[in-house]
Amino acid sequence: MRNGKYKAKIEELLAPTGITINGDHPWDPQVHNEDFYPRVMAKGSMALGESYMDGWWDAEKLDEFFHRIFMASIDSCFCRLSDISNCLLAKIYNFQKIARAYQVGEHHYDIGNDLYKKMLDKRLMYSCGYWKEAADLDEAQEHKLDLICRKLDIKPGMKVLDIGCGWGGAARFIARRYQAEVVGVTISKEQAALARQRCRNLPVTIKLQDYRKLYGEFDRIFSIGMFEHVGYKNYGIYMETARNLLKKDGIFLLHTIGGSRSNVRIDPWINKYIFPNSVLPSPKQITEAVEGRFVIEDWHNFGADYDTTLMAWFQNFEESWKELKNDYDERFYRMWKYYLLCCAGSFRARKNQLWQLVLTPQGIVNGYEAPR
Could you give the residue numbers annotated as active site?
A: 343
**DSSP letter at 221?**
E
Rounded distance between C-alpha atoms, residue 203 and residue 212, angstroms: 23
Helix 189-198 to helix 169-178 angle (10° resolution) is: 20
Q: 338-359 burial string, b = 16+ CB within 10 Å, else e?
A: bbbbbbbbbbbbebbbbbbbbb
C-alpha distances in Å from residue 362, one per residue of 60, 141, 255, 295: 52, 30, 20, 6
Alpha helices in 255-351 (DSSP H): 268-273, 283-290, 304-324, 330-348
> Please, are residues 161 and 221 in contact by the beta-carbon 8 Å criterion?
yes
- Beta bridge partners, 222, equal 162, 253
Burial class (CB in 10 A: 0-12, 13-18, 19+), 221: buried
